[in-house]
DNA sequence: GAAGCCCTAATTGTATACAATTTGCCAAAC
DNA sequence: GTTTGGCAAATTGTATACAATTAGGGCTTC
């Protein structure tokens, strides 16, 4: 287990460099450079680049290579809209397809998240981000749809947008957790419409927080803290 | 232009072999075999396989290779639902973002499709399939969303499902063309709700035709004609 | 005779070498 | 002085060679 594949190493390197801002939008990514940075050959680098293209983080121009996609306000809006539509469908499928085990996992995650949101222990933001991610992951699993999984994978930028918990007020954090709990209740009752509605509210609420956080200081955010 | 890239040759070969049924669902695809068939090396074959994975046609098991995905009734239903949700959003974005040129192209395609559907000249099914594809493509372009494009690309199986025009009755063919025309009208008036509604109807109508065609003879379809 | 282990063959994963295409620069001609 | 042609460096695209992992079979052992 000590030896991760070279392809994953390349993928993590490039993705990290893009997310941390070491590559600016529009920049060209040369394969040799990444290969040197990640200490692998060009072959797994190419694999990683193509995967990142499928996830929308970069785009390919034939015989010219990879360029990191540009990102603006509109793209963030689109991400929220797309997630809303796809995750609502995930919730609907879940209401029909999930089993008791799925529900137990989801309820446990949601309750844990609410406790952390209420008590706010040290490092609670990271805990909540993790629990939130695992909840949506578990929901996607319980929806039993590979197509939905691959479609949502193309919104890989979403982590950027979704883990905006740093911007959340205490009330917003609790509301988010309560959304999850209500969603589980709806699923337990096999009520697809209810589940879908809660999910829709959940994501639009997140968008609202995101908007507020980015309309005042929206112009700059180049803290490259350690 | 005579020399298509080896990667595309590999991609077309594999995709063709899957769609035409030369690979059965669950079959393992070995790289060397494809490389021999397509007369290219293994490198572009791997690229093609990974792309097909992103499109959901195959799945990868580490150190074991590629297996073609299995497909059932449920997956077809999911494809229609996902397309409905994503293409409705495309229509909504279009209503806001498209320009006069986009509208002219869309209207021309839709009118052409209606004429072909009404007159039914020789080879009209292929013509309609092509026009339909180009219409949805043009709509996607006019929506100006790369995210939406990549998300819809994961439903690449959809061609299988979408070009079911062989099953369409003359009335259904006309209805489909009229949907397109109405959609253009809605877009010209910048009415996102209307456009979205028409698109929704359009895709659910297609699903209905698909269901009817597959409930009677739905059990078998192993024509491997030349 | 059955179970477990090792060994071999096949296949994937990675590295490197080679071919083809693009881009920018420099020189030469008008 | 501007433009055009082509040359050269760099980079992508492809092929092949090598390493590592896995699957299956036959052997040994209990």
Q: Is the CB of A30 under 7 A from strand C?
A: no
Using CA atoms, how far apart are residues B145 and A75, in angstroms rounded to an integer?
Answer: 8
Distance of B2 CA from C19 C1′ (whole Å): 17
pLDDT > 60? residue B104 = yes
Q: What is the pLDDT of residue B201?
A: 97
pLDDT by residue (tens digit) across A141-167? 999 999 999 999 888 777 666 667 878
Looking at the complex, does the CB of residue B22 fall below 8 Å from at least one CB of chain A? no
Any idea what the Cα angle at residue A205 is, between residues A204 and A208, rounded to 5°? Answer: 90
Query: What are the tokens at B186?
Result: 């809605």
Q: Is the CB of B5 under 7 A from strand D?
A: yes
Do residues A180 and A107 make contact, with C-beta atoms less than 8 angstroms apart? no
Q: Any residues with CB less than 8 A from the CB of A155 and at least 6 apart, and which?
A: A55, A56, A79, A82, A83, A86, B147, B151
Cα B91 to Cα A16, A75, A84, B191: the distances in Å are 34, 16, 16, 10
Q: What is the pLDDT of residue A41?
A: 94
The residue assigned the tokens 């929220």 is A80
Half-sphere exposure of A80 (CA within 13 A, CB side): 20
Using CA atoms, how far apart are residues B47 and B53, in angstroms rounded to an integer?
Answer: 10
Q: What is the pLDDT of residue A11?
A: 95
pLDDT by residue (tens digit) across B137-186? 999 999 999 999 999 989 877 766 666 787 888 999 999 999 999 999 99
pLDDT by residue (tens digit) across B191-223? 999 999 999 999 999 999 988 887 754 444 444
Looking at the complex, does the CB of residue A153 fall below 8 Å from at least one CB of chain B? yes
Confidence of residue B226 (pLDDT cuts 50, 70, 90): very low
The candidate with the shortest Cα–Cα distance to B68, out of B27, B123, B119, B114, is: B27
Strand locations in chain B (E): 28-29, 58-61, 65-68
Strand locations in chain A (E): 28-29, 58-61, 65-68
- Taking 70 as the pLDDT cut, the residues of chain A under it are 1-3, 159-163, 216-226
Q: What is the pLDDT of residue B109?
A: 97
Q: Is the CB of A42 under 7 A from strand D?
A: yes
Looking at the complex, does the CB of residue B69 fall below 8 Å from at least one CB of chain A? yes
Q: What is the pLDDT of residue A92?
A: 98
Using CA atoms, how far apart are residues A82 and B175, in angstroms rounded to an integer?
Answer: 28
Q: What is the pLDDT of residue A212?
A: 87
Q: Is the CB of B44 under 7 A from strand D?
A: yes
Distance of B8 CA from D5 C1′ (whole Å): 34
pLDDT by residue (tens digit) across B60-84? 999 998 999 988 788 889 999 999 9
Using CA atoms, how far apart are residues B67 and B183, in angstroms rounded to an integer?
Answer: 39
Distance of A28 CA from D1 C1′ (whole Å): 35
Q: What is the pLDDT of residue B224?
A: 38
Q: What is the pTM for the complete model shown?
A: 0.86
pLDDT by residue (tens digit) across A170-193? 899 999 999 999 999 999 999 999
Using CA atoms, how far apart are residues B81 and A89, in angstroms rounded to an integer?
Answer: 8
């Amino acid at each position: 287990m000590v030896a991760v594949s070279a392809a994953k190493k390349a993928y993590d390197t490039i993705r990290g460099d893009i997310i941390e801002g070491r590559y600016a939008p529009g920049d060209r990514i040369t394969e040799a450079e990444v290969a040197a940075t990640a200490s692998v050959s060009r072959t797994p680098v190419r694999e990683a680049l193509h995967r990142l293209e499928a996830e929308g983080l970069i785009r390919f121009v034939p015989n010219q290579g990879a360029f990191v996609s540009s990102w603006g306000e509109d793209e963030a809006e689109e991400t929220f809209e797309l997630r809303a539509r796809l995750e609502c469908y995930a919730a609907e499928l879940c209401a029909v397809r999930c089993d008791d085990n799925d529900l137990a996992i989801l309820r446990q995650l949601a309750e844990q998240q609410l406790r952390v949101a209420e008590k706010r222990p040290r490092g609670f933001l990271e805990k909540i981000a993790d629990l939130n991610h695992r909840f949506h992951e578990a929901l996607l699993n319980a929806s039993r749809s590979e197509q939905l999984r691959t479609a949502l994978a193309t919104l890989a930028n979403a982590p950027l947008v979704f883990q905006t918990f740093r911007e959340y007020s205490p009330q917003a954090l609790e509301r988010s957790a309560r959304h999850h709990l209500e969603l589980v209740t709806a699923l337990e009752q096999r009520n697809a419409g209810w589940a879908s509605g809660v999910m829709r509210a959940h994501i639009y609420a997140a968008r609202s927080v995101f908007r507020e956080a980015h309309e005042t200081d929206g112009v700059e955010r180049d803290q490259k803290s350690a």
